[in-house]
Structure 1
Amino acid sequence: MIHPMFLCHGAPDLVLEDNEYIKLLRELGKNLKPKAVVLFTAHWETEVTTISSVEGTYDMIYDFYGFPAELYRIKYPAKGSPQLAEKVKNLLKEKQIESNLDHTRGMDHGTWSLLSIMFPEADIPVVQVSINPFRSKEEQFQIGEALKPLAEEDILILGSGSTVHNLGDLNGNATKPVAWAVEFDDWIIKKVEELNQNDLFHYQSLAPNARMAVPREEHIMPLFTAMGSGGDRTPKLLHRSYAYGTFTYLGFEF
Protein backbone atom coordinates (compact mmCIF):
# COMPACT_ATOMS: atom_id res chain seq x y z
CA MET A 1 0.00 0.00 0.00
CA ILE A 2 1.23 3.48 -0.90
CA HIS A 3 -0.06 6.24 1.34
CA PRO A 4 -1.51 9.43 -0.20
CA MET A 5 0.58 12.59 0.00
CA PHE A 6 0.31 16.34 -0.21
CA LEU A 7 3.39 18.11 -1.56
CA CYS A 8 3.99 21.76 -2.30
CA HIS A 9 5.21 22.19 -5.88
CA GLY A 10 6.70 25.63 -5.28
CA ALA A 11 7.81 28.01 -8.01
CA PRO A 12 8.57 26.57 -11.47
CA ASP A 13 12.32 26.96 -10.90
CA LEU A 14 12.16 24.43 -8.07
CA VAL A 15 13.40 21.88 -10.62
CA LEU A 16 16.63 23.88 -11.05
CA GLU A 17 17.42 23.96 -7.33
CA ASP A 18 19.33 21.62 -5.06
CA ASN A 19 18.17 21.82 -1.47
CA GLU A 20 16.78 19.66 1.34
CA TYR A 21 13.32 19.59 -0.20
CA ILE A 22 14.71 18.39 -3.52
CA LYS A 23 16.59 15.65 -1.67
CA LEU A 24 13.37 14.58 0.04
CA LEU A 25 11.49 14.41 -3.26
CA ARG A 26 14.24 12.30 -4.80
CA GLU A 27 14.25 9.92 -1.85
CA LEU A 28 10.47 9.60 -1.95
CA GLY A 29 10.63 8.70 -5.61
CA LYS A 30 13.32 6.06 -5.05
CA ASN A 31 11.41 4.42 -2.22
CA LEU A 32 7.81 4.58 -3.41
CA LYS A 33 7.78 2.82 -6.79
CA PRO A 34 4.02 3.27 -7.44
CA LYS A 35 2.25 1.54 -10.30
CA ALA A 36 0.75 4.90 -11.29
CA VAL A 37 0.14 8.41 -9.97
CA VAL A 38 -3.22 10.15 -9.63
CA LEU A 39 -2.36 13.80 -9.07
CA PHE A 40 -4.70 16.63 -8.08
CA THR A 41 -3.11 19.78 -9.43
CA ALA A 42 -3.79 23.33 -8.29
CA HIS A 43 -3.03 24.50 -11.82
CA TRP A 44 -6.11 22.90 -13.37
CA GLU A 45 -9.40 24.48 -12.39
CA THR A 46 -12.78 23.24 -13.62
CA GLU A 47 -16.32 23.52 -12.30
CA VAL A 48 -16.86 19.76 -12.56
CA THR A 49 -14.06 17.42 -11.48
CA THR A 50 -12.18 16.52 -14.66
CA ILE A 51 -9.83 13.59 -15.15
CA SER A 52 -7.09 13.47 -17.77
CA SER A 53 -7.53 10.46 -20.04
CA VAL A 54 -4.57 10.98 -22.34
CA GLU A 55 -3.53 8.20 -24.69
CA GLY A 56 0.24 8.28 -25.13
CA THR A 57 2.62 11.00 -23.97
CA TYR A 58 1.42 14.27 -22.46
CA ASP A 59 2.18 17.59 -24.09
CA MET A 60 4.00 20.05 -21.85
CA ILE A 61 2.25 23.12 -20.42
CA TYR A 62 4.54 25.99 -19.34
CA ASP A 63 1.96 27.89 -17.30
CA PHE A 64 4.27 30.65 -16.06
CA TYR A 65 6.29 33.55 -17.40
CA GLY A 66 9.44 35.48 -16.60
CA PHE A 67 11.57 32.49 -15.60
CA PRO A 68 14.91 31.26 -17.04
CA ALA A 69 14.72 30.05 -20.63
CA GLU A 70 15.88 26.55 -19.69
CA LEU A 71 12.59 25.97 -17.86
CA TYR A 72 10.71 26.28 -21.14
CA ARG A 73 12.88 23.57 -22.66
CA ILE A 74 12.17 20.97 -20.00
CA LYS A 75 10.47 17.84 -21.28
CA TYR A 76 8.88 15.24 -19.05
CA PRO A 77 7.52 12.56 -21.39
CA ALA A 78 5.16 10.84 -18.97
CA LYS A 79 2.30 8.84 -20.39
CA GLY A 80 -1.34 8.92 -19.44
CA SER A 81 -3.58 5.96 -18.62
CA PRO A 82 -7.12 6.00 -20.03
CA GLN A 83 -7.82 2.78 -18.12
CA LEU A 84 -6.90 4.34 -14.78
CA ALA A 85 -8.77 7.53 -15.68
CA GLU A 86 -11.91 5.45 -16.24
CA LYS A 87 -11.38 3.72 -12.91
CA VAL A 88 -11.10 7.07 -11.14
CA LYS A 89 -14.31 8.20 -12.82
CA ASN A 90 -16.12 5.03 -11.73
CA LEU A 91 -14.95 5.36 -8.12
CA LEU A 92 -16.29 8.92 -8.05
CA LYS A 93 -19.55 7.78 -9.63
CA GLU A 94 -20.02 5.19 -6.87
CA LYS A 95 -20.09 8.10 -4.40
CA GLN A 96 -22.43 10.16 -6.61
CA ILE A 97 -19.65 12.58 -7.53
CA GLU A 98 -19.94 13.97 -11.05
CA SER A 99 -16.83 13.97 -13.24
CA ASN A 100 -15.70 14.36 -16.83
CA LEU A 101 -12.85 12.92 -18.87
CA ASP A 102 -10.42 15.09 -20.82
CA HIS A 103 -8.45 13.53 -23.68
CA THR A 104 -6.23 16.41 -24.83
CA ARG A 105 -4.93 18.58 -21.98
CA GLY A 106 -1.20 18.56 -21.38
CA MET A 107 0.78 18.35 -18.16
CA ASP A 108 1.06 21.57 -16.14
CA HIS A 109 3.93 22.55 -13.89
CA GLY A 110 1.96 21.62 -10.78
CA THR A 111 2.42 18.08 -12.06
CA TRP A 112 5.73 17.90 -13.90
CA SER A 113 7.73 20.00 -11.45
CA LEU A 114 7.24 17.39 -8.71
CA LEU A 115 7.19 14.25 -10.82
CA SER A 116 10.30 15.10 -12.84
CA ILE A 117 12.23 15.22 -9.56
CA MET A 118 10.59 12.20 -7.95
CA PHE A 119 10.42 9.93 -11.01
CA PRO A 120 12.93 11.33 -13.51
CA GLU A 121 12.65 8.34 -15.86
CA ALA A 122 9.02 9.31 -16.63
CA ASP A 123 8.17 5.61 -16.64
CA ILE A 124 5.11 5.77 -14.36
CA PRO A 125 1.63 6.46 -15.83
CA VAL A 126 0.08 9.72 -14.65
CA VAL A 127 -3.54 10.78 -14.38
CA GLN A 128 -4.15 14.44 -13.55
CA VAL A 129 -7.34 15.55 -11.81
CA SER A 130 -8.65 19.12 -11.63
CA ILE A 131 -9.80 21.06 -8.60
CA ASN A 132 -12.54 23.63 -8.10
CA PRO A 133 -11.39 26.44 -5.74
CA PHE A 134 -14.99 27.42 -5.10
CA ARG A 135 -16.04 23.96 -3.94
CA SER A 136 -16.32 23.42 -0.19
CA LYS A 137 -13.41 21.84 1.61
CA GLU A 138 -15.74 19.03 2.70
CA GLU A 139 -16.54 18.19 -0.92
CA GLN A 140 -12.87 18.18 -1.90
CA PHE A 141 -12.21 15.85 1.04
CA GLN A 142 -15.02 13.53 -0.12
CA ILE A 143 -13.46 13.30 -3.58
CA GLY A 144 -10.32 12.01 -1.90
CA GLU A 145 -12.32 9.57 0.21
CA ALA A 146 -13.85 8.07 -2.92
CA LEU A 147 -10.40 7.18 -4.23
CA LYS A 148 -9.14 5.33 -1.14
CA PRO A 149 -9.21 1.93 -2.92
CA LEU A 150 -6.44 3.10 -5.25
CA ALA A 151 -3.91 3.13 -2.41
CA GLU A 152 -4.48 -0.60 -1.92
CA GLU A 153 -3.33 -1.10 -5.52
CA ASP A 154 -0.06 0.79 -4.96
CA ILE A 155 -1.29 3.85 -6.83
CA LEU A 156 0.01 7.11 -5.39
CA ILE A 157 -2.67 9.73 -4.78
CA LEU A 158 -0.85 13.05 -4.70
CA GLY A 159 -2.16 16.52 -3.95
CA SER A 160 0.08 19.16 -5.55
CA GLY A 161 -0.40 22.69 -4.28
CA SER A 162 0.72 24.84 -1.35
CA THR A 163 -0.40 26.07 2.05
CA VAL A 164 0.99 29.62 2.17
CA HIS A 165 0.66 30.93 -1.38
CA ASN A 166 0.71 34.73 -1.42
CA LEU A 167 2.49 35.76 -4.62
CA GLY A 168 2.05 39.43 -3.82
CA ASP A 169 4.29 39.16 -0.75
CA LEU A 170 7.23 37.24 -2.22
CA ASN A 171 10.66 38.58 -1.35
CA GLY A 172 13.55 37.34 -3.46
CA ASN A 173 16.06 38.57 -0.88
CA ALA A 174 14.46 36.86 2.11
CA THR A 175 16.69 34.54 4.13
CA LYS A 176 13.97 33.33 6.52
CA PRO A 177 10.17 33.03 6.46
CA VAL A 178 7.96 35.86 7.67
CA ALA A 179 6.29 35.34 11.03
CA TRP A 180 2.70 35.33 9.79
CA ALA A 181 3.45 32.53 7.31
CA VAL A 182 5.06 30.42 10.02
CA GLU A 183 2.11 30.97 12.35
CA PHE A 184 -0.35 29.88 9.69
CA ASP A 185 1.60 26.73 8.87
CA ASP A 186 2.04 25.95 12.58
CA TRP A 187 -1.75 25.89 12.87
CA ILE A 188 -2.26 23.83 9.70
CA ILE A 189 0.35 21.25 10.73
CA LYS A 190 -1.13 20.89 14.22
CA LYS A 191 -4.66 20.36 12.90
CA VAL A 192 -3.53 17.92 10.23
CA GLU A 193 -1.56 15.85 12.74
CA GLU A 194 -4.60 15.82 15.03
CA LEU A 195 -6.85 14.78 12.13
CA ASN A 196 -9.03 17.71 13.14
CA GLN A 197 -11.01 17.86 9.94
CA ASN A 198 -13.69 20.20 11.24
CA ASP A 199 -11.21 22.94 12.16
CA LEU A 200 -9.37 22.48 8.87
CA PHE A 201 -12.61 22.80 6.91
CA HIS A 202 -13.09 26.16 8.64
CA TYR A 203 -9.47 27.29 8.56
CA GLN A 204 -10.40 30.60 6.92
CA SER A 205 -12.09 31.79 10.11
CA LEU A 206 -9.99 29.85 12.64
CA ALA A 207 -6.38 29.86 11.46
CA PRO A 208 -4.14 32.87 12.19
CA ASN A 209 -3.35 35.04 9.16
CA ALA A 210 -5.49 32.84 6.91
CA ARG A 211 -6.50 35.58 4.48
CA MET A 212 -2.90 36.69 4.13
CA ALA A 213 -1.61 33.14 3.66
CA VAL A 214 -4.35 32.01 1.28
CA PRO A 215 -5.76 34.94 -0.71
CA ARG A 216 -7.24 32.39 -3.15
CA GLU A 217 -7.91 28.74 -2.38
CA GLU A 218 -6.80 26.86 -5.48
CA HIS A 219 -3.43 25.83 -4.03
CA ILE A 220 -4.68 24.58 -0.67
CA MET A 221 -7.54 22.48 -2.08
CA PRO A 222 -5.33 19.48 -2.98
CA LEU A 223 -4.46 19.20 0.72
CA PHE A 224 -8.06 18.29 1.52
CA THR A 225 -8.22 15.73 -1.27
CA ALA A 226 -5.04 13.99 -0.17
CA MET A 227 -6.22 14.04 3.44
CA GLY A 228 -9.55 12.50 2.44
CA SER A 229 -7.73 9.67 0.69
CA GLY A 230 -5.70 8.83 3.77
CA GLY A 231 -8.31 7.53 6.18
CA ASP A 232 -7.72 7.54 9.94
CA ARG A 233 -3.99 6.88 9.92
CA THR A 234 -2.02 9.55 11.78
CA PRO A 235 -0.51 11.89 9.15
CA LYS A 236 3.25 12.33 8.98
CA LEU A 237 4.96 15.65 8.36
CA LEU A 238 7.61 14.89 5.73
CA HIS A 239 9.19 18.31 5.27
CA ARG A 240 8.88 22.00 6.01
CA SER A 241 10.92 24.84 4.58
CA TYR A 242 10.40 28.22 2.90
CA ALA A 243 11.49 30.23 -0.09
CA TYR A 244 11.05 33.94 -0.86
CA GLY A 245 9.85 34.55 2.70
CA THR A 246 6.29 33.38 2.10
CA PHE A 247 6.50 30.35 -0.21
CA THR A 248 5.96 27.13 1.74
CA TYR A 249 7.58 23.81 0.89
CA LEU A 250 5.48 21.45 2.98
CA GLY A 251 4.91 17.74 2.67
CA PHE A 252 2.48 15.35 4.38
CA GLU A 253 1.96 11.62 4.14
CA PHE A 254 -1.55 10.46 5.04
Structure 2
Amino acid sequence: MKLHVVPARTGALWVRQGIRTFWKQPIALSGLFFMFMALMSVSSLVPVIGSFFALMLLPAASLGLMAATREVDLGKFPMPMILASGFRAGRERKRDMLVLGLLYALGFIGVMGLSMLVDGGDFAKLYLVGGALDKETLMTPEFQNAMWLSMLLYLPLSAVFWHAPALVHWHGVPAIKSLFFSTVACLSNWRAFLVFGLLWSFIFLLTALVITLISSFTGDSEFASLALLPAMLMLAAMFFCSTYYSFRDSFVSDVIYA
Protein backbone atom coordinates (compact mmCIF):
# COMPACT_ATOMS: atom_id res chain seq x y z
CA MET A 1 0.00 0.00 0.00
CA LYS A 2 1.26 3.47 -0.86
CA LEU A 3 -0.08 7.00 -0.93
CA HIS A 4 -1.61 8.27 -4.16
CA VAL A 5 -1.68 12.04 -4.71
CA VAL A 6 -4.58 13.11 -6.93
CA PRO A 7 -5.34 16.40 -8.71
CA ALA A 8 -7.85 18.87 -7.28
CA ARG A 9 -10.52 17.94 -9.84
CA THR A 10 -10.68 14.44 -8.36
CA GLY A 11 -12.66 15.91 -5.47
CA ALA A 12 -15.50 16.64 -7.88
CA LEU A 13 -15.20 13.10 -9.24
CA TRP A 14 -15.67 11.67 -5.73
CA VAL A 15 -18.87 13.67 -5.36
CA ARG A 16 -20.23 12.44 -8.71
CA GLN A 17 -19.28 8.85 -7.99
CA GLY A 18 -20.96 8.92 -4.60
CA ILE A 19 -24.20 10.33 -6.02
CA ARG A 20 -24.16 7.91 -8.96
CA THR A 21 -23.56 4.87 -6.75
CA PHE A 22 -26.33 5.92 -4.38
CA TRP A 23 -28.84 6.00 -7.21
CA LYS A 24 -27.88 2.47 -8.26
CA GLN A 25 -29.39 1.18 -5.00
CA PRO A 26 -31.21 4.17 -3.43
CA ILE A 27 -33.59 2.15 -1.25
CA ALA A 28 -30.90 -0.18 0.09
CA LEU A 29 -28.37 2.57 0.78
CA SER A 30 -31.00 4.87 2.29
CA GLY A 31 -32.15 2.02 4.53
CA LEU A 32 -28.59 1.33 5.66
CA PHE A 33 -28.02 4.99 6.37
CA PHE A 34 -31.21 5.19 8.44
CA MET A 35 -30.07 2.09 10.34
CA PHE A 36 -26.76 3.86 10.91
CA MET A 37 -28.54 6.94 12.25
CA ALA A 38 -30.87 4.84 14.40
CA LEU A 39 -27.90 2.98 15.89
CA MET A 40 -26.24 6.25 16.83
CA SER A 41 -29.48 7.68 18.25
CA VAL A 42 -30.39 4.61 20.31
CA SER A 43 -26.85 4.32 21.66
CA SER A 44 -26.90 7.94 22.78
CA LEU A 45 -30.05 7.29 24.84
CA VAL A 46 -28.14 5.15 27.32
CA PRO A 47 -27.77 7.23 30.51
CA VAL A 48 -24.38 8.79 31.31
CA ILE A 49 -22.24 6.85 28.80
CA GLY A 50 -24.65 6.78 25.86
CA SER A 51 -23.21 9.68 23.89
CA PHE A 52 -19.65 8.44 24.45
CA PHE A 53 -20.63 4.94 23.30
CA ALA A 54 -22.30 6.34 20.17
CA LEU A 55 -19.12 8.27 19.34
CA MET A 56 -17.09 5.08 19.80
CA LEU A 57 -19.27 3.30 17.26
CA LEU A 58 -18.98 6.03 14.63
CA PRO A 59 -15.70 4.92 12.95
CA ALA A 60 -16.91 1.32 12.58
CA ALA A 61 -20.38 2.41 11.45
CA SER A 62 -18.97 4.78 8.82
CA LEU A 63 -16.75 1.93 7.62
CA GLY A 64 -19.91 -0.15 7.21
CA LEU A 65 -21.41 2.48 4.92
CA MET A 66 -18.20 2.56 2.89
CA ALA A 67 -18.31 -1.23 2.59
CA ALA A 68 -21.93 -1.02 1.43
CA THR A 69 -20.92 1.51 -1.21
CA ARG A 70 -18.19 -0.83 -2.40
CA GLU A 71 -20.70 -3.68 -2.69
CA VAL A 72 -22.98 -1.55 -4.86
CA ASP A 73 -20.01 -0.39 -6.92
CA LEU A 74 -19.19 -4.04 -7.60
CA GLY A 75 -22.75 -4.73 -8.69
CA LYS A 76 -23.78 -6.51 -5.50
CA PHE A 77 -26.67 -5.88 -3.11
CA PRO A 78 -25.59 -4.62 0.33
CA MET A 79 -27.14 -6.64 3.14
CA PRO A 80 -27.82 -5.06 6.57
CA MET A 81 -25.04 -7.01 8.28
CA ILE A 82 -22.50 -5.12 6.21
CA LEU A 83 -22.80 -2.29 8.71
CA ALA A 84 -20.97 -4.54 11.17
CA SER A 85 -18.07 -5.17 8.76
CA GLY A 86 -15.63 -3.44 11.09
CA PHE A 87 -16.22 -6.06 13.78
CA ARG A 88 -16.26 -9.13 11.52
CA ALA A 89 -12.71 -9.11 10.14
CA GLY A 90 -10.75 -10.99 12.78
CA ARG A 91 -9.63 -10.36 16.34
CA GLU A 92 -6.78 -7.93 15.61
CA ARG A 93 -8.79 -5.73 13.27
CA LYS A 94 -11.73 -5.76 15.67
CA ARG A 95 -9.42 -4.62 18.46
CA ASP A 96 -7.95 -1.88 16.28
CA MET A 97 -11.44 -0.72 15.32
CA LEU A 98 -12.35 -0.46 19.00
CA VAL A 99 -9.16 1.50 19.66
CA LEU A 100 -10.10 3.90 16.85
CA GLY A 101 -13.57 4.28 18.35
CA LEU A 102 -12.17 5.05 21.79
CA LEU A 103 -9.66 7.58 20.43
CA TYR A 104 -12.30 9.25 18.27
CA ALA A 105 -14.70 9.58 21.20
CA LEU A 106 -11.96 11.05 23.39
CA GLY A 107 -10.93 13.44 20.60
CA PHE A 108 -14.49 14.61 20.03
CA ILE A 109 -15.11 15.08 23.75
CA GLY A 110 -11.88 17.10 23.81
CA VAL A 111 -13.19 19.38 21.06
CA MET A 112 -16.45 19.88 22.95
CA GLY A 113 -14.50 20.49 26.15
CA LEU A 114 -12.53 23.30 24.54
CA SER A 115 -15.77 24.86 23.27
CA MET A 116 -17.02 24.95 26.87
CA LEU A 117 -14.31 27.47 27.66
CA VAL A 118 -16.03 29.89 25.29
CA ASP A 119 -19.74 29.62 26.18
CA GLY A 120 -19.84 27.70 29.44
CA GLY A 121 -20.97 24.47 27.80
CA ASP A 122 -24.24 25.43 26.07
CA PHE A 123 -23.12 24.25 22.63
CA ALA A 124 -21.50 21.07 23.96
CA LYS A 125 -24.59 20.20 25.99
CA LEU A 126 -26.85 20.71 22.99
CA TYR A 127 -24.62 18.57 20.75
CA LEU A 128 -23.94 15.75 23.18
CA VAL A 129 -27.13 15.61 25.23
CA GLY A 130 -29.67 17.24 22.95
CA GLY A 131 -32.65 19.35 23.93
CA ALA A 132 -34.41 22.47 22.73
CA LEU A 133 -32.51 25.46 21.42
CA ASP A 134 -34.06 28.87 22.00
CA LYS A 135 -33.39 31.77 19.68
CA GLU A 136 -31.84 33.90 22.41
CA THR A 137 -29.13 31.31 23.12
CA LEU A 138 -28.46 30.74 19.43
CA MET A 139 -27.87 34.44 18.82
CA THR A 140 -25.46 35.00 21.69
CA PRO A 141 -21.86 35.68 20.60
CA GLU A 142 -20.56 33.10 23.07
CA PHE A 143 -22.68 30.29 21.60
CA GLN A 144 -21.75 31.19 18.02
CA ASN A 145 -18.06 31.43 18.90
CA ALA A 146 -18.24 28.01 20.55
CA MET A 147 -19.91 26.59 17.44
CA TRP A 148 -17.30 28.00 15.06
CA LEU A 149 -14.44 26.94 17.33
CA SER A 150 -15.82 23.39 17.43
CA MET A 151 -16.11 23.30 13.65
CA LEU A 152 -12.56 24.60 13.26
CA LEU A 153 -11.14 22.04 15.72
CA TYR A 154 -13.17 19.21 14.19
CA LEU A 155 -11.50 19.61 10.79
CA PRO A 156 -8.10 18.21 11.89
CA LEU A 157 -9.87 15.52 13.95
CA SER A 158 -11.83 14.52 10.85
CA ALA A 159 -8.64 14.36 8.74
CA VAL A 160 -6.94 12.12 11.31
CA PHE A 161 -9.82 9.62 11.27
CA TRP A 162 -11.04 10.04 7.66
CA HIS A 163 -9.26 7.02 6.19
CA ALA A 164 -8.32 5.23 9.42
CA PRO A 165 -11.24 2.73 9.68
CA ALA A 166 -10.85 1.70 6.03
CA LEU A 167 -7.07 1.31 6.43
CA VAL A 168 -7.60 -0.95 9.44
CA HIS A 169 -10.33 -2.99 7.77
CA TRP A 170 -9.03 -3.43 4.22
CA HIS A 171 -5.29 -3.12 4.64
CA GLY A 172 -4.75 -4.41 8.16
CA VAL A 173 -2.94 -1.24 9.25
CA PRO A 174 -2.64 -0.97 13.08
CA ALA A 175 -4.84 1.68 14.67
CA ILE A 176 -2.18 4.27 15.51
CA LYS A 177 -0.44 3.92 12.14
CA SER A 178 -3.78 4.24 10.36
CA LEU A 179 -4.29 7.63 12.03
CA PHE A 180 -0.89 8.78 10.79
CA PHE A 181 -1.46 7.53 7.23
CA SER A 182 -4.93 9.06 7.16
CA THR A 183 -3.55 12.46 8.19
CA VAL A 184 -0.76 12.32 5.60
CA ALA A 185 -3.20 11.31 2.85
CA CYS A 186 -5.62 14.14 3.66
CA LEU A 187 -2.82 16.71 3.81
CA SER A 188 -1.25 15.44 0.58
CA ASN A 189 -4.60 15.58 -1.21
CA TRP A 190 -5.86 18.76 0.44
CA ARG A 191 -6.75 20.35 -2.90
CA ALA A 192 -9.04 17.46 -3.84
CA PHE A 193 -10.60 17.45 -0.37
CA LEU A 194 -11.13 21.20 -0.56
CA VAL A 195 -13.05 20.80 -3.82
CA PHE A 196 -14.89 17.84 -2.31
CA GLY A 197 -15.95 19.81 0.77
CA LEU A 198 -16.93 22.93 -1.12
CA LEU A 199 -19.03 20.99 -3.61
CA TRP A 200 -20.91 19.11 -0.89
CA SER A 201 -21.49 22.34 1.02
CA PHE A 202 -22.88 23.92 -2.15
CA ILE A 203 -25.15 20.91 -2.81
CA PHE A 204 -26.56 20.95 0.73
CA LEU A 205 -27.13 24.72 0.69
CA LEU A 206 -28.64 24.70 -2.81
CA THR A 207 -31.04 21.90 -1.88
CA ALA A 208 -32.17 23.77 1.23
CA LEU A 209 -32.61 26.96 -0.82
CA VAL A 210 -34.66 25.23 -3.54
CA ILE A 211 -36.97 23.62 -0.97
CA THR A 212 -37.42 26.95 0.80
CA LEU A 213 -38.18 28.76 -2.46
CA ILE A 214 -40.72 26.11 -3.51
CA SER A 215 -42.40 26.43 -0.13
CA SER A 216 -42.48 30.22 -0.51
CA PHE A 217 -43.81 30.21 -4.10
CA THR A 218 -46.53 27.66 -3.38
CA GLY A 219 -47.57 29.31 -0.14
CA ASP A 220 -47.31 25.96 1.61
CA SER A 221 -45.47 26.66 4.84
CA GLU A 222 -45.45 22.97 5.80
CA PHE A 223 -43.67 21.84 2.63
CA ALA A 224 -40.26 23.00 3.79
CA SER A 225 -40.56 21.35 7.19
CA LEU A 226 -41.76 18.10 5.62
CA ALA A 227 -39.26 17.96 2.75
CA LEU A 228 -36.10 19.42 4.27
CA LEU A 229 -35.20 16.64 6.71
CA PRO A 230 -35.66 13.71 4.25
CA ALA A 231 -33.71 15.63 1.60
CA MET A 232 -30.84 16.35 3.99
CA LEU A 233 -30.72 12.73 5.14
CA MET A 234 -30.66 11.49 1.55
CA LEU A 235 -27.81 13.88 0.72
CA ALA A 236 -25.97 12.72 3.84
CA ALA A 237 -26.24 9.14 2.60
CA MET A 238 -24.78 10.20 -0.75
CA PHE A 239 -22.00 12.01 1.08
CA PHE A 240 -21.03 8.85 2.96
CA CYS A 241 -21.05 6.95 -0.34
CA SER A 242 -18.58 9.44 -1.77
CA THR A 243 -16.16 8.96 1.15
CA TYR A 244 -15.44 5.45 -0.12
CA TYR A 245 -14.08 6.84 -3.38
CA SER A 246 -11.93 9.38 -1.55
CA PHE A 247 -10.31 6.46 0.27
CA ARG A 248 -10.00 4.26 -2.79
CA ASP A 249 -8.19 6.94 -4.79
CA SER A 250 -5.91 8.07 -1.96
CA PHE A 251 -4.10 4.74 -1.62
CA VAL A 252 -2.70 2.25 -4.11
CA SER A 253 -2.30 -1.39 -3.18
CA ASP A 254 -1.28 -4.53 -5.05
CA VAL A 255 -3.62 -6.50 -2.79
CA ILE A 256 -7.26 -6.74 -3.80
CA TYR A 257 -9.18 -6.24 -0.57
CA ALA A 258 -12.43 -8.04 0.17
Normalised to the residue count of structure 1, the TM-score between the two structures is: 0.29
The structure with the greater share of residues assigned to strand is 1
Larger helix proportion of the pair: 2
| TM-score, scaled relative to structure 2 | 0.29
